[in-house]
Amino acid sequence: MYKVSITSKELKQKSVIYRKKILQYISQAKAGHTGGSLSCIDILNVLYNVVLNVSPENFSSPNRDRYVQSKGHCVEALYVTLADKGFFNESDLNTMCQYQSKYIGHPTKKVNGVEQNTGALGHGLPICVGMAIAAKMDEKEYRVFTLLGDGELPEGSNWEAALSASKYKLDNLCAIIDKNNLQITGTTAEVCNTDPLNKKFESFGWAVKEISGNDIDALKDAFSSLPFEKGKPSVIIANTNKGKGVSFMENEIKWHHGVPSAAQYLLAQQELDYALTLIEND
Amino acid sequence: MTEQINTNHHKANLEIFSETLQRLAQNDRDIIAVTSDSRGSGKLVPFGNKFPNQIVEVGIAEQNLVGVAAGLAACGKKVFAVSPACFLTARALEQIKNDIAYSDNPVSAIGISAGVSYGALGSTHHSLHDYAALRAINNIIIVAPADNFETEKAIELAANSNIPVYLRFGKKPMPFLKSNNDDVFAFGKARTITEGEDIAIIATGETVYPALEAANKLKAEGINVSVISMHTIKPLDTNILDKIAKKCSAIITIEEHSVNGGLGEACASYLIQQQFAKPFKIMGIPDEYTVTGSQEEIFNHYGISEQGIAAQVKLLLRK
Ligand SMILES: [Mg+2]
């Protein structure tokens, strides 16, 4: 934990502001992964503002923490967070997904602050295993984090990497699963059930914590107790709500990559503004 | 045998890879081998014994092999991801495309027992698609060294390349193509093994040697053949293509790969766009269920032999 100065209240405000911006840039671009970006944004918020030793100043340092977003399609959440961290001017996001923009619809190293190019699913964890092994080889202190979607877990490469992570005792590695229980076709349970995830990861030699992934304090608590067990990789099963923060988007499959209409956009922003006043008055 | 072919002390390119990697690792602890239960077939058992902290074993899991290699490279390691070429470039093609090439992590992907080296083990174990698949991927150098000299140089260059490299070779001892190995070796710069103006044979990997044998046979019959070792399939040495297109009356390409999408089509594509209009033949493995046999028997079956190549030369020159 590097940034302890920020309060939970400030973090909660940031989450709402990030949600507003996610919707703003998706609406402008008329493209994006709305539901998943809203479900994972609290995780990114706590990672970048509390947990990760990553900043524009140290981004070229070999000792920085590494974050690789395996669920690359929720790039809007990452772009908004990185802009807030000062990696680039937020106004750059006005070009997102436009002709010749470097802000494409999946994470790319062309954007300052992005660690690896992702987008095809099942790639983040193997890369992070390599990064975590490198840290152990060099006896470096940095830690490695990756965010996976629950829908990408049937990709076999995740489980190949899970085996290597425990073989190499990578307690400097933390995977976070954005478990919103939905994917493009339906519920993860009906598309390809991967439950019970805790038992699966435990049996693969991981230390597991299951938390509410849209709860700032629960996220802070979980990250502050890493590694969950010395000599084991850690996984946080973050139970989230797809579309979190906008009532008509919550838990609705159609918002996987739905783009709000003008009226829906206004409604969503109003709801988020109201959430901000509630936090302010809390 | 003529004086150009030095048959002394030749080893499999695979062995040279292993020896070179050990030599490099001795002085550089960032040299890392990643294996997928391929330590034995990659001749890396001595490497693993000498440098236990510089080898990562992921088990039979090629996608993870390449992803882990990419992550290591992203953190400054000089990584050799070693697996049979057939699995490495098919099973893990998406990881090569995204995690190595697109993410610009300069891993050396080492395809062992490439082409039809596995012989009678059959199509599952042959890699006749790898040049074609990788040629269409941006930001990766494709190299098939022909002899021990080229292999050693290629491994040295790959270790410090800031561009990803795919290197493939077989497990059969390969004679030196020249008795004096004083050429400058660089990726993208072909080696001229022998010069003649009647026809040029552009070969790659383990097909260069039979091409040289054919050239020597034909010389005795008064046909002068250039033999080029086009060890780098991408980027292609177009300077040498320009040169031989002017000088020679015909061109043959040879590769241990499908005739579709490999060296031959790469050369043809370049030459035709330069208005090249002389006899041209692509030799390789035809698009069919590959015949059963050892590497040598398969080569012979498809004419990748001293006799077969010589016959093809005469056919093309109408002699
Ligand atoms: Mg999901």
User: What pLDDT, on the 0 to 100 scale, is given for residue B148?
Assistant: 95
- Contact at CB, B94 and A120, closer than 8 angstroms: yes
Query: Which residues on adjacent β-strands are paired with residue B141?
Result: B165
What digits encode the pLDDT tens for the residues A203-235?
Answer: 999 999 999 999 999 999 999 999 999 999 999
> Is the ipTM reported for this complex over the cut 0.95?
yes
**Does the structure show a pLDDT above 50 at B112?**
yes
In this structure, the answer to whether residues B53 and B192 fall within a common structural domain is: no
Domain end residue (candidates: B154, B174, B194): B174
CATH number of B209's domain: 3.40.50.920
Chain B residues touching residue A161 (CB < 8 angstroms):
64, 67-68
Closest to A128 (Cβ–Cβ): which among B58, B71, B104? B71
Could you check whether the bond before residue B279 is cis, i.e. omega within 30 degrees of 0? no
Total count of domains within chain B: 2
Q: Which amino acid is at A212?
A: S
**Does the structure show a pLDDT above 70 at A3?**
no
Q: Which of A197-201, B179-183, B202-206 has the lowest mean pLDDT?
A: B179-183
SS3 B69: helix
Q: Which residue of A has its CA nearest to B77?
A: A134
B26 in a domain, yes or no? yes
A2 in a domain, yes or no? no
Question: Separation of A177 CA from ligand 1 center, angstroms?
Answer: 9
Question: Separation of A244 CA from ligand 1 center, angstroms?
Answer: 12
A194 in a domain, yes or no? yes
B78 in a domain, yes or no? yes
In this structure, the answer to whether residues B109 and B85 fall within a common structural domain is: yes
Mean pLDDT over B82-110 rounds to: 98
User: What pLDDT, on the 0 to 100 scale, is given for residue A186?
Assistant: 95
- Contact at CB, A134 and B75, closer than 8 angstroms: yes
B318 in a domain, yes or no? no
Q: How confident is the model at residue B165 (pLDDT cuts 50, 70, 90)?
A: very high
| Percent share of chain B, pLDDT over 90 | 93
Question: Separation of A188 CA from ligand 1 center, angstroms?
Answer: 7
Q: How confident is the model at residue A4 (pLDDT cuts 50, 70, 90)?
A: low
What digits encode the pLDDT tens for the residues B30-81?
Answer: 999 999 999 988 899 999 999 999 999 999 999 999 999 999 999 999 999 9
Domain end residue (candidates: B151, B174, B197): B174
Domain with B301, as residue range(s), is: 180-313
Chain A residues touching residue B66 (CB < 8 angstroms):
126
| Most distant CA pair in chain B, distance | 59
Question: Separation of A209 CA from ligand 1 center, angstroms?
Answer: 18
**Does the structure show a pLDDT above 80 at B9?**
no
Q: What's the burial of B184, exposed, middle or buried (CB within 10 Å: 0-12/13-18/19+)?
A: exposed
pLDDT, chain B, mean: 95
- Give how far Cα A213 sits from Cα of A75, A140, A180, Å: 18, 29, 9
Q: Which residue of A has its CA nearest to B103?
A: A117
Mean pLDDT over B156-171 rounds to: 97
In this structure, the answer to whether residues B217 and B259 fall within a common structural domain is: yes
Q: Are A232 and A56 in contact (CB under 8 A)?
A: no
Angle at A185 between CA A183 and CA A190, to 5 degrees: 80
Closest to B77 (Cβ–Cβ): which among A120, A129, A134? A134
Buried b (16+ CB within 10 A) or exposed e, B156-180: ebbbebeebbbbbbbbbebbbbbee
CATH number of B112's domain: 3.40.50.970
User: What pLDDT, on the 0 to 100 scale, is given for residue A84?
Assistant: 98
B302 in a domain, yes or no? yes
Smallest Cα distance from B246 to chain A, Å: 41
Kindly report the length of chain B: 319
**Does the structure show a pLDDT above 70 at A180?**
yes
Any CB–CB contact under 8 A between B58 and chain A? Answer: yes
Q: How far apart are CA B89 and CA B87, in angstroms?
A: 6
Angle at A190 between CA A188 and CA A196, to 5 degrees: 60
User: What pLDDT, on the 0 to 100 scale, is given for residue B151?
Assistant: 97
What digits encode the pLDDT tens for the residues A47-80?
Answer: 999 999 999 999 999 999 999 999 999 999 999 9
- Contact at CB, A133 and B71, closer than 8 angstroms: yes
Could you check whether the bond before residue A260 is cis, i.e. omega within 30 degrees of 0? no
B57 in a domain, yes or no? yes
In this structure, the answer to whether residues B169 and B306 fall within a common structural domain is: no
Q: How confident is the model at residue B3 (pLDDT cuts 50, 70, 90)?
A: very low
Q: How far apart are CA B283 and CA B312, in angstroms?
A: 9
A3 in a domain, yes or no? no
CATH number of A123's domain: 3.40.50.970
Closest to B64 (Cβ–Cβ): which among A135, A138, A164? A164
Which of B178, B201, B192, B181 lies closest to B282 in space, CA to CA?
B201
Q: How confident is the model at residue B163 (pLDDT cuts 50, 70, 90)?
A: very high
Smallest Cα distance from A143 to chain B, Å: 12
Q: How confident is the model at residue A116 (pLDDT cuts 50, 70, 90)?
A: very high
**Does the structure show a pLDDT above 90 at A14?**
yes
User: What pLDDT, on the 0 to 100 scale, is given for residue A238?
Assistant: 98
In this structure, the answer to whether residues B128 and B222 fall within a common structural domain is: no
Count interface pairs A-B at CB distance under 8 A: 101
Total count of domains within chain A: 1
In this structure, the answer to whether residues B203 and B80 fall within a common structural domain is: no
Any CB–CB contact under 8 A between B32 and chain A? Answer: yes
A1 in a domain, yes or no? no
- Contact at CB, A138 and B71, closer than 8 angstroms: no
pTM: 0.96
Question: Separation of A100 CA from ligand 1 center, angstroms?
Answer: 30
Question: Separation of A183 CA from ligand 1 center, angstroms?
Answer: 5
Q: Are A161 and A129 in contact (CB under 8 A)?
A: yes
**Does the structure show a pLDDT above 90 at B1?**
no
Query: Which residues on adjacent β-strands are paired with residue B84?
Result: B112
What digits encode the pLDDT tens for the residues B119-137?
Answer: 999 999 999 999 999 999 9
Question: A-side interface with B, Cβ within 8 Å?
Answer: 62, 66, 109, 115-120, 122-123, 125-135, 137-138, 156-157, 160-161, 163-164, 168
Q: How far apart are CA B230 and CA B186, in angstroms?
A: 11
A259 in a domain, yes or no? yes
User: What pLDDT, on the 0 to 100 scale, is given for residue B10?
Assistant: 86
Domain with A83, as residue range(s), is: 8-280
In this structure, the answer to whether residues B28 and B154 fall within a common structural domain is: yes
Chain A residues touching residue B53 (CB < 8 angstroms):
137
Any CB–CB contact under 8 A between B173 and chain A? Answer: no
Question: Separation of A193 CA from ligand 1 center, angstroms?
Answer: 12
Q: How far apart are CA A77 and CA A89, in angstroms?
A: 15
In this structure, the answer to whether residues B167 and B282 fall within a common structural domain is: no
Choose the mutation target among A116, A125, A204 for the interface with B, i.e. most B CBs under 10 Å: A116
In this structure, the answer to whether residues B32 and B87 fall within a common structural domain is: yes
